């Protein structure tokens, strides 16, 4: 399948893929045995993974406020969000990746997506106005702006800011959703944290904002719908925040992933995991909702398998700031939850199968918890690469939902300089390499050489927004 919005296409014959897949039964070198925690900033990997390159943060995105966030890809380019703006990298030769341009435009989190000549940026902090020279406006009773910014990236060396769209409670994250005729991009804007002290973010906030972007006239972008997803308010338990116990009340969604071809979306909505029907793009409809009041603290993100028959939900225990990869927390909290989608139509349900968490304990100074990842496109297998903040990058197999298996890892030891710590925010597979956005250390390029993942090297993508999933392979 090829499209302007998620652009998956084949570049080899079925026979070539089939031949490569024969290697799946080969036994690869075992992962490195559990060892002591690495030294400060020391890089360690499993034998099947290699750290190819690091590009540190550089000015103007190298301030105390500069934090690397999400990634998107298009052709020979990678786009990295940053609390202070975004960077475009030339990754034509991944081992010689270089910065093409940087845009200074403060406004957390600045999560990014791309389609065609457009780039979308999420602003989830109150700013004095919608410009790229705005300043923080933390008093919610004073005039402020937050929402979506749109850039024209037809010239990758000189992106142009062309439009802003204000959204309720800002845009913590957003998901790019193509219209069925491919003429329009919809942005599902996720936000949360309402308060009576914030003028344009009043409780309850059990909704998402949907921004419509006409691709031929993007400056006409506007909010066209604000569907209430939780008429009953969603999860309402003993809210203890996103710390190391209890859950957090649902007041919106943190992240949504869509599978447009299947008219499905999976929402990680604070206290709820949700399966949606999105056949009507501007009116998502809840099919099934699950809660985990024992193990999950904060439903953070979601990933479908390629067949659209499973969902991985992540739990951001500790809000991404605590050390939760240790014996005291254990293997089932701050983990991934693997759910099968069972049934048909409106009778589909999310059925829990197992948890998965990295088994390498981290230092008490290292924030570590499940975070952003993507599929590695291996035909017939469900394999994922995933960030774990200072727990590093993990590659793992969930083909058997009840018995996930680790494949490989990359990580750094505790930060030598706490000001450049933070770990990997997003780790995504794109055209043969793994690219990682680090909160404080910039941009990493990794490779993996393993018979279980090598068939993915025959699958080529023209464009990748990880929260907009497509079928990467068809026999």
Nearest Cα residue to 377 out of 289, 281, 306: 306
* Structural domain contains residue 297: no
Structure tokens at 140: 């919610």
Edge-to-edge strands, sheet with 109-115: 109-115, 118-127, 145-152, 160-166
pLDDT of residue 242: 58
* Structural domain contains residue 78: no
Residue 52 CA to residue 433 CA, distance in Å, equals 10
* Structural domain contains residue 92: no
Encode 110-127: b = buried (16+ Cβ within 10 Å), e = exposed: bbbbbbbbbbbbbbbbbb
Residue 189 CA to residue 208 CA, distance in Å, equals 6
* Structural domain contains residue 169: yes
Residue 391 CA to residue 357 CA, distance in Å, equals 10
pLDDT of residue 420: 80
Chain length of the chain: 475
Residue 466 CA to residue 259 CA, distance in Å, equals 10
Q: Considering the entire predicted model, what is its pTM?
A: 0.92
Burial of 25: CB neighbours in 10 Å, binned 0-12, 13-18, 19+? exposed
Nearest Cα residue to 397 out of 347, 351, 452, 436: 452
Structure tokens at 115: 């389609």
* Structural domain contains residue 185: yes
* Structural domain contains residue 407: no
How many domains would you assign to the chain? Answer: 1
pLDDT of residue 36: 81
* Structural domain contains residue 221: yes
* Structural domain contains residue 451: no
Nearest Cα residue to 468 out of 92, 112, 160: 112
Write out the residue range of the structural domain in which residue 113 sits. 105-228
- Tens-binned pLDDT, residue by residue, of the chain (475 aa): 333 333 333 233 323 333 333 333 333 333 333 458 999 999 999 999 999 999 999 999 999 899 999 999 999 999 999 999 999 999 999 999 999 999 999 999 999 999 999 999 999 999 999 999 999 999 999 999 999 999 999 999 999 999 999 999 999 999 999 999 999 999 999 999 999 999 999 999 999 999 999 999 999 999 999 999 999 999 987 655 555 555 789 999 999 999 999 999 999 999 999 999 999 999 999 999 999 989 999 999 999 999 999 999 999 999 999 999 999 999 999 999 999 999 999 999 999 999 999 999 999 999 999 999 999 999 999 999 999 999 999 999 999 999 999 999 999 999 998 878 889 999 999 999 999 999 999 999 999 999 999 999 999 999 999 999 999 865 3
Name the 3-class secondary structure at 261.
helix
pLDDT of residue 59: 96
């Amino acid at each position: 399948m090829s499209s302007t919005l998620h652009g998956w296409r084949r570049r080899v014959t079925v026979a070539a893929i089939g031949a490569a897949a024969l290697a799946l039964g080969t036994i690869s070198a075992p992962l490195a045995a559990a060892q002591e925690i690495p030294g400060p900033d020391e890089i360690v990997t499993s034998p099947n993974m290699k750290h190819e390159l690091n590009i540190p943060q550089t000015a103007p995105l190298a301030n105390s406020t500069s934090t690397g966030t999400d990634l998107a890809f298009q052709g020979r380019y990678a786009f990295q969000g940053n609390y202070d703006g975004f960077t475009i990298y030339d990754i034509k030769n991944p081992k010689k990746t270089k910065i093409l341009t940087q845009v200074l435009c403060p406004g957390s989190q600045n999560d990014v997506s791309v389609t065609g000549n457009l780039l979308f940026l999420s602003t989830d902090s109150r700013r004095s106005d919608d410009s790229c020279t705005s300043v923080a406006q933390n008093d919610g009773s004073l005039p402020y702006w937050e929402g979506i910014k749109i850039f024209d990236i037809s010239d990758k060396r000189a992106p142009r800011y062309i439009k802003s769209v204000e959204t309720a409670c800002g845009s913590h994250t957003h998901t790019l959703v193509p219209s069925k005729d491919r003429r329009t991009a919809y942005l599902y804007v996720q936000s949360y944290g309402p308060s009576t002290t914030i003028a344009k973010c009043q409780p309850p906030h059990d909704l998402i904002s949907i921004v419509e972007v006409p691709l031929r006239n993007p400056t006409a972008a506007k909010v066209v719908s604000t569907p209430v997803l939780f008429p009953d308010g969603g999860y309402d338990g003993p809210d203890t925040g996103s710390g190391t116990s209890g859950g957090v009340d649902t007041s919106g969604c943190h992240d949504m992933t869509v599978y447009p071809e299947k008219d499905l979306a999976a929402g990680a909505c604070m206290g709820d995991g949700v399966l949606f029907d999105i056949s009507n793009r501007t009116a998502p409809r809840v099919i099934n909702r699950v809660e985990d009041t024992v193990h999950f603290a904060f439903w953070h993100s979601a990933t479908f398998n390629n067949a659209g028959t499973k969902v991985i939900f992540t739990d951001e225990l500790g809000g991404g700031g605590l050390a939760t990869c240790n014996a005291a927390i254990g293997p089932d909290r701050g983990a991934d939850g693997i759910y099968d989608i069972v049934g048909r139509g409106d009778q589909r349900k999310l059925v829990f199968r197992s948890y998965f968490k990295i088994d390498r304990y981290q230092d008490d100074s290292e924030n570590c918890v499940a975070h952003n990842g993507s599929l590695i496109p291996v035909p017939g297998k469900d394999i994922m690469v995933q960030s774990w903040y200072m727990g590093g990058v993990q590659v793992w197999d969930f083909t058997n939902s009840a018995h996930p298996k680790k494949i490989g890892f990359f990580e750094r030891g505790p930060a030598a300089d706490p000001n450049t710590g933070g770990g990997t925010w997003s780790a995504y597979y794109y055209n043969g390499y793994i690219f990682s956005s680090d909160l404080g250390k910039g941009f990493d390029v990794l490779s993996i050489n393993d018979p279980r993942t090598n068939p993915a090297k025959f699958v080529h993508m023209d464009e990748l927004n990880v929260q907009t999933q497509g079928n990467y392979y068809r026999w």
